[in-house]
Structure 1
Amino acid sequence: MRYLLIGWTRRTSFETAKVLLAREAEVYVSDTVDNEEKQALLRELNHPRLFSLLGRQSKDILDEVQPDVVMPSPGVPLTIPLIEEAKKRGIPVFGDIELFYRFHPEVYYYAITGTDGKTTTTTLSHALISAYKPALVGGNIGTAIFEHEAAVASVKEMVLELSSFQLEEIVNFRPRIAAFLNLAEDHLDRYPDLDAYFEAKKRIFLNQTPDDVAIVNADSPYFEQVTAGVKSRILTFSRKSRADMMFYDGGIYYGEKLLVKQEELKLKGVHNIENVMAASLVALMAGVPMEVIQNTLREFRGLEHRLELVGSYNGVEVYNDSKATTVNALEKALESFDVPVILIAGGLDKGLDFTLVKGLVYKKVKTVILLGQAAEKIDSAWQFPHTTKVPSLEVAVETAFSHAKPGEVILFSPGCASFDMFKNYEERGRAFKAFVQKRQG
């Protein structure tokens, strides 16, 4: 077999190439960029059946390589001419999730998608399941699925976080349990509109059967669209109404049975109530006993960069929510506080509508500090009277502390991507924490 990998990165295509070469395939790698980092990945594999097309991504590659399969990395839009031409010629086009599924259809897959909360819910689902039986975790969460190629020989259950980009690239992939957490504006720099983004997300249910389970947020304004045409058994969770998993009277209930009280959870934030409910449904459907779920929920501390408490300084609590790269995530963060907030926001705009949280900003926020490429757009959308624009994250931290009084909260929840100033949201979050600790000595 001859595979053409489009987009050459360590996170996805490198691991795919490694497995394909071990299976005696020919592998060609195409990327618009040809630099030392990408050349180093080629040298690391150093294989006679690995061929470089770095710096090239034109349609004529198809005549040269004549691939049996074209595999784009998730970051590569399926609308580039090379991929459109491959589809026109009838060459199969799919991603690493689909290929892994074809190699290992016997694995029991749990898949989680949504605009926000995917990583926390995926991590928590894995923690709940693996507290009872062996399970793997991967996908968009940062572990390429092919890193588990050896492990699936003995472990047959896998929890996957799936982005809309990854779901665009599936064909036959069938998760036995699939959760669609929520939908809000995101990636409108890649998709023409919200409907196109939604259609990509909904592909998570594409190949499910009546023997499978679909877990859906009953509070979503898109609930009817999400569940329309779904062939699997639908289970719901809700913070506001009747559902299979509900939050009321300060607790999370499965039917009439109390699962856990909110005060017992170490996770902060209203959005995490939803994440806990979704993950608990995944685990229950995976056969994990209620008692195991309860004990694990009480110990789970959440993830770095997701409404993470950095510390309390002279009565001012500081939270790092660098993972909030959408307006929806920013909204959920603001909803989590009942004390005045000094908000640090901004970064790289993804074509989102910041006016959606204007009312909440006026209700919750004392001071807004804006930075990055989107600062002017956000300022124009909110027109908040107590707004300061700053040139860097370090200056933002200094400014926030100068405005904060005991009993208030400094919240870094950008609502934007990081790429205008940082490599990714993790680097941005670590920088924020370092500036806070430097400021406090």
Structure 2
Amino acid sequence: MLKYTELENENVLVIGLAKSGYEAAKLLNKLGANVIVNDGKDLSQDSHAKDLENIGIKVIGGKHPLSLLDSNPIIVKNPGIPYTVPLLEVAVEKGLKILTEVELSYLISEAPIIGVTGTNGKTTVTSLIGDMFQKSRVTGKVSGNIGYVASKVAQEVTASDYLVTELSSFQLLGIDRYKPHIAIITNIYSAHLDYHESLENYQNAKKEIYKNQTDDDYLICNYHQRHLIESESLSAKTYYFSTQQEVDGIYVKDDFIEFKGFRIIHKDDLVLPGEHNLENILAATLAALLAGISVRAVIDSLTTFSGIEHRLQYVGSNKTNKYYNDSKATNTLATQFALNSFDQSIIWLCGGLDRGNDFDELIPYMKNVKVMVAFGETQSKFVKLGESQGKYVITATDVQDAVDKIQDAIEPNDVVLLSPACASWDQYNTFEERGNKFIKSFQAHLPSF
């Protein structure tokens, strides 16, 4: 951790406790700031609030008194709190500096930072880069919007490490000097307009990731959205990724991932499915190579990385069959996405809580489905759907029974996909429990040696 002294004896107001506020307050106290924590919720019984009070930090809960601004403090706010909160509106009028906790992570981090943002894919890219580091001799630690508070992880890294941080648009609005050595923008679509008020504001928030970069840094962007940055004054070395054409950066050519003409891996050897994940893989691979991770470690990760739990999660392979757990697909839109991710024949496990809807909107996505296994309250609906499309349909009592019954129907290179298109509550407490039962059942059918 760098010895950062500029906050010594400064008044700092942390707005919003939660995990990031708790860690930020502790760090600010360590840096010698005069810290007050404020939250709109009653904190009288909050264990984190008590911890902070025990180390001498004043905690005010239940309201946002404007008197907190009398000392003209620097504000560190929870990223989810909108700037329309009256306390923040007054702070803006007074010209007070308003930051988010990730700014602190930059100020104290000895390690260079890989920052990842985008509308879709940033969690997968961040996780994949983290996995590549784990398989490498280079050390990298994951942090940020992925669930590990950046300012806490930043205290643990050294100059020989990397700090890999997932960044939301909310977090990026509250940066000042923050500068990742490698910045990634996966894509930018319309999102969070209730917070940002316009698409332009949202896009500008994402662009904050590279505003402080110099010519010693790297920016990785989606080639097919290059128009969003072409008018910008960019200092960083800019590389692109594309699944469709050769670009200055990383791309797919003749079904191989290539970087500057060097072939890395064939598409068929990847375990993360779908065109969207191919883009995620390109972005993560390029960042890893720029960070000094070996090609061998990258390939090791790309052939084993399971993805995000219960979201098209690669479970493993039984002989020639890959199994995927998409238990988080609790609606038809998510299952459309999953079914569209595979070119191979699919054995599709589906069904669950009956909410009264039918599933005809899945028909255009069923071309690769060879076998359907239906269970749960919606079993009869899926049987009817499958038969209407000429599919071989098996009925099962639950997920475990479904995995048992497909063993007689499975053929080489079939993909086994649990993507229920329904909530789990008819048979399981959570979608996580349903997914874990699927994984356990898959493991029970692995050959024993």
Classify the TM-score, shorter chain.
0.7 to 0.9
- Which runs of 5 or more structure 2 residues have no equivalent in the other structure? 1-9, 354-359, 375-383, 387-396, 411-415, 445-449
Which amino acid in 1 is paired with 2:239? L
The one of 231, 235, 238 equivalent to 1:234 is: 238
Q: Distance in 2 between matches of 1:100 and 1:273?
A: 30
The one of 290, 293, 302 equivalent to 2:295 is: 290
Cα distance, 1:155 vs structure 2: 4.5
Q: Distance in 2 between matches of 1:326 and 1:200?
A: 31
Cα distance, 1:121 vs structure 2: 1.1
Matched, 1:43 2:45: no
Q: Distance in 2 between matches of 1:324 and 1:274?
A: 24
Q: Distance in 2 between matches of 1:32 and 1:151?
A: 31
- Greater gyration radius: 2
Cα distance, 1:322 vs structure 2: 3.1
Q: Could you say which residue in structure 2 is the equivalent of 1:123?
A: 127
The one of 105, 113, 117 equivalent to 2:117 is: 113
Cα distance, 1:166 vs structure 2: 0.8
1:316–1:246: structure 2 CA closer, same or farther, 3 Å change rule? closer
- CA deviation profile, 1:38-57 (whole Å, cap 9, x unmatched): 62111233435311211112
Matched length: 389
Q: Distance in 2 between matches of 1:191 and 1:6?
A: 19
- Does the 8 Å contact 2:272/2:314 carry over to 1? no
Normalising by structure 2, what TM-score? 0.73
- Does the 8 Å contact 1:322/1:428 carry over to 2? no
Cα distance, 1:360 vs structure 2: 8.0
Give the secondary-structure state (helix, strand or coil) at the position aligned to 1:94.
Answer: strand
Give the secondary-structure state (helix, strand or coil) at the position aligned to 1:135.
Answer: strand
Give the secondary-structure state (helix, strand or coil) at the position aligned to 1:299.
Answer: coil
Give the secondary-structure state (helix, strand or coil) at the position aligned to 1:83.
Answer: helix
Q: Could you say which residue in structure 1 is the equivalent of 2:24?
A: 16
Matched, 1:211 2:219: no
Q: Distance in 1 between matches of 2:332 and 2:171?
A: 19
Cα distance, 1:274 vs structure 2: 1.3
1:318–1:287: structure 2 CA closer, same or farther, 3 Å change rule? closer
Q: Distance in 2 between matches of 1:229 and 1:162?
A: 20
Q: Distance in 2 between matches of 1:25 and 1:326?
A: 50
Cα distance, 1:15 vs structure 2: 1.0
Q: Distance in 2 between matches of 1:193 and 1:326?
A: 29
Q: Distance in 2 between matches of 1:233 and 1:362?
A: 42
Q: Could you say which residue in structure 2 is the equivalent of 1:430?
A: 432
Give the secondary-structure state (helix, strand or coil) at the position aligned to 2:240.
Answer: strand
Q: Distance in 1 between matches of 2:332 and 2:196?
A: 15
Q: Could you say which residue in structure 2 is the equivalent of 1:2?
A: 11
Give the secondary-structure state (helix, strand or coil) at the position aligned to 1:247.
Answer: strand
- CA deviation profile, 1:21-66 (whole Å, cap 9, x unmatched): 2223222111121156x62111233435311211112434323xx2
- Does the 8 Å contact 2:315/2:322 carry over to 1? no
- CA deviation profile, 1:101-121 (whole Å, cap 9, x unmatched): 2234x5311111111221221
Give the secondary-structure state (helix, strand or coil) at the position aligned to 2:325.
Answer: strand
Q: Distance in 1 between matches of 2:287 and 2:189?
A: 22
- CA deviation profile, 1:222-274 (whole Å, cap 9, x unmatched): 32013431412211111111222112333211132210112222322322211
Matched, 1:27 2:35: yes
The one of 165, 170, 173 equivalent to 2:170 is: 165
- Which runs of 5 or more structure 1 residues have no equivalent in the other structure? 347-357, 370-384, 388-396, 422-426
Q: Distance in 1 between matches of 2:331 and 2:164?
A: 23
1:360–1:275: structure 2 CA closer, same or farther, 3 Å change rule? farther
Give the secondary-structure state (helix, strand or coil) at the position aligned to 1:235.
Answer: strand
Q: Distance in 1 between matches of 2:33 and 2:73?
A: 10
1:330–1:254: structure 2 CA closer, same or farther, 3 Å change rule? farther
1:318–1:152: structure 2 CA closer, same or farther, 3 Å change rule? closer
Give the secondary-structure state (helix, strand or coil) at the position aligned to 2:214.
Answer: coil
Which amino acid in 2 is paired with 1:242? E
Q: Distance in 2 between matches of 1:299 and 1:256?
A: 24
1:139–1:434: structure 2 CA closer, same or farther, 3 Å change rule? same
- Does the 8 Å contact 1:129/1:286 carry over to 2? no
Which amino acid in 1 is paired with 2:435? K
Give the secondary-structure state (helix, strand or coil) at the position aligned to 2:252.
Answer: strand
1:98–1:136: structure 2 CA closer, same or farther, 3 Å change rule? same
The one of 261, 265, 269 equivalent to 2:270 is: 265
- Does the 8 Å contact 1:4/1:67 carry over to 2? no
Residue pairs, 1:92-103, within 5 angstroms? 92-103=97-108
- Does the 8 Å contact 2:285/2:298 carry over to 1? yes
Cα distance, 1:438 vs structure 2: 11
- Does the 8 Å contact 2:327/2:418 carry over to 1? no
RMSD (CA atoms): 4.1
- Does the 8 Å contact 1:114/1:201 carry over to 2? yes
1:35–1:83: structure 2 CA closer, same or farther, 3 Å change rule? same
1:158–1:311: structure 2 CA closer, same or farther, 3 Å change rule? closer
Which amino acid in 1 is paired with 2:286? L
Q: Distance in 1 between matches of 2:173 and 2:162?
A: 23
